[in-house]
Structure 1
Amino acid sequence: MPNIPTLKPRMQLFLSLLLGALLSACVPIGQSAPQQTIPLGELLLDDTFTLQKGWEARESDWAYMDVINEGYRMWLTRNVYIYGLYRESFTDTVMEASTLLMSDNPKTIYGLRCRASEGNPANGYYFMLSADGAFSIRYGAGNAIEPLVKWQNHSAIYTDGRINTIRIICAGDYLALYVNNQFVADVTDDRYSRGFFGAALALPEATTLDNPADVVFDNVRVWAVGD
């Protein structure tokens, strides 16, 4: 799988960053059980996108993100990485969203974010899936995204047009990813303790308007971490 280089967006419509070694060779996953069990606390957000409630909305001739038809839709044709954030900062959270690919571009990369920094929103954590059935947990640092868990294949990720439900846990230094109610991977990292959550989309190479990376996020729920 190729890397995704930086392209600075026109008029700063989108924040993008260098994805040096974003995609490395996929290998089978080995871990089968989470290191921690994180209880759910107070429900902080339950968003079915009937209204625009604080999500970023941006548009250019090569990318788009906004609430439309009761979903948060993102599409992209350039080989960059974009993200849309919910502008409220949190510390320890569990986030879940339903995701549906709207195109059959097999190179689409999409997922959820937590703890995006207020000063530089490119920083923070990324929990990403690929349209061909792989995943990675990563962190952004300056002009690069580095792996905490490298790209690996996992059978929990649907690649046949069905909805993938993604759940991410950001609790203290503990980060975990679940897909379709199955544990996928976890890791510990203490670089970021607070920030915005959101959605992300990327392409490893440019494409055409009739075959973009195109995904809808829906049924977003965010909980505080319980006691």
Structure 2
Amino acid sequence: MKPPKHSLKLFALIATLGLAALACAIPGLGNSDGSLYRDDFSSTNSNWGIGTDADSSVEYVSDGLQFFVTTTNYFTWSNPGVEEGFENIHIEVTVKNRSTDPNAAFGLVCHQQVTGDSHYYMAITQSGQYAIAKAAIAQTDVFLTNNDQWGDSDLIPVEAETYQLGADCGNGTLTLYVNGQQIASVSDSTYTKGEVGLFAWSGEETAGTTVVFDDFVVTSLTSGE
């Protein structure tokens, strides 16, 4: 099942406007280490969309960005509010898995368009499944891998406490990595530039999806990781 989605981008936009009024730069951009964007979530002013409602919660917790999804089959994502977006990038993030639902999924968003509902995302579950997907406004999401179905990979540890996720988004290619190992790669050039983000996606278990993201880094594909 491909569930309803809930974006917390609105919160990020409000935060961006507030920071602009104070003449502050967006945290994490243009770092001396060559990364395009970097956030270890140690500051609650780093501009990600946060909030809590009846279906899900995205909040800063213990130097991480925690996603807690209470409703079943529900997809929640957040962005850092970099509206100009990125192209030809590699993304890395550490995921601390606190989920009890074996079908809890989580991952990375890239090339998200202004509408928000149009983007690519790369997902894994703690049961060892994965998907690289394309979302488009007013359309059902399409898995670009495994004939529009979840795939299984022995390279994804089952019920691990921590996962290192990576994604290449650029030059017409989308590639998913887990713990430094390539899981899948597909070609699609519908979107070539856009926002980045993180998401959690619940399965059939109520309140069974909890993940904490840390050490989010965006680098250029041309300059390496």
- Report the TM range for the smaller structure's normalisation: 0.7 to 0.9
Determine if contact 1:4/1:204 at 8 Å carries over to the other structure: no
Determine if contact 1:92/1:170 at 8 Å carries over to the other structure: yes
The answer to which structure has the higher helix fraction is 2
Tell me which residue corresponds to 1:99: 95
Tell me which residue corresponds to 1:51: 43
Tell me how far apart the structure 2 counterparts of residues 128 and 157 of structure 1 sit (CA, whole Å): 11
Larger displacement relative to structure 2 (151-160 or 95-104): 151-160
User: What is the aligned length?
Assistant: 193
Quote how far apart the aligned CAs of 1:208 are.
3.2
Tell me how far apart the structure 1 counterparts of residues 182 and 157 of structure 2 sit (CA, whole Å): 14
1:82 and 2:81 equivalent? no
Tell me how far apart the structure 2 counterparts of residues 152 and 5 of structure 1 sit (CA, whole Å): 18
Q: Which amino acid aligns with 2:189?
A: D
Quote how far apart the aligned CAs of 1:213 are.
0.7
1:221 and 2:213 equivalent? no
- Taking every aligned residue pair, what percent have the same amino acid on both sides? 23
Tell me which residue corresponds to 2:195: 196
Match of 2:34 among 37, 42, 53: 42
Determine if contact 1:135/1:153 at 8 Å carries over to the other structure: yes
**Could you give the per-residue CA deviations for residues 72-97 of structure 1, whole angstroms, max 9, x where no partner exists?**
11010212211111211111211000
Quote how far apart the aligned CAs of 1:4 are.
3.4
1:4 and 2:2 equivalent? yes
Tell me how far apart the structure 1 counterparts of residues 171 and 198 of structure 2 sit (CA, whole Å): 21
Tell me which residue corresponds to 1:185: 184
Q: 1:148 to 1:66 in 2, by over 3 A?
A: same
Quote how far apart the aligned CAs of 1:61 are.
2.6
Q: Cα RMSD between the aligned structures?
A: 2.1
Quote how far apart the aligned CAs of 1:223 are.
0.4
Instruction: Extract unaligned runs of 5+ from structure 2.
Output: 11-32
Q: TM-score with structure 2 length normalisation?
A: 0.79
Instruction: Extract unaligned runs of 5+ from structure 1.
Output: 16-40
**Could you give the per-residue CA deviations for residues 1-29 of structure 1, whole angstroms, max 9, x where no partner exists?**
xx13437x6xx8689xxxxxxxxxxxxxx
Tell me how far apart the structure 2 counterparts of residues 71 and 130 of structure 1 sit (CA, whole Å): 20
Tell me which residue corresponds to 1:125: 120
Determine if contact 1:4/1:203 at 8 Å carries over to the other structure: no
Q: 1:132 to 1:172 in 2, by over 3 A?
A: same
Tell me how far apart the structure 2 counterparts of residues 74 and 6 of structure 1 sit (CA, whole Å): 16
The answer to which structure has the higher strand fraction is 1
Tell me how far apart the structure 1 counterparts of residues 64 and 57 of structure 2 sit (CA, whole Å): 13
Match of 1:63 among 56, 64, 76: 56
Determine if contact 2:110/2:194 at 8 Å carries over to the other structure: yes
Tell me which residue corresponds to 1:32: none
Pairwise mapping of residues 164-183 of structure 1 onto structure 2 (< 5 A)?
Answer: 164-183=163-182
Which structure's relative contact order is higher, taking Cα pairs within 8 Å and 6+ residues apart? 1
SS in 2 for 1:56: coil
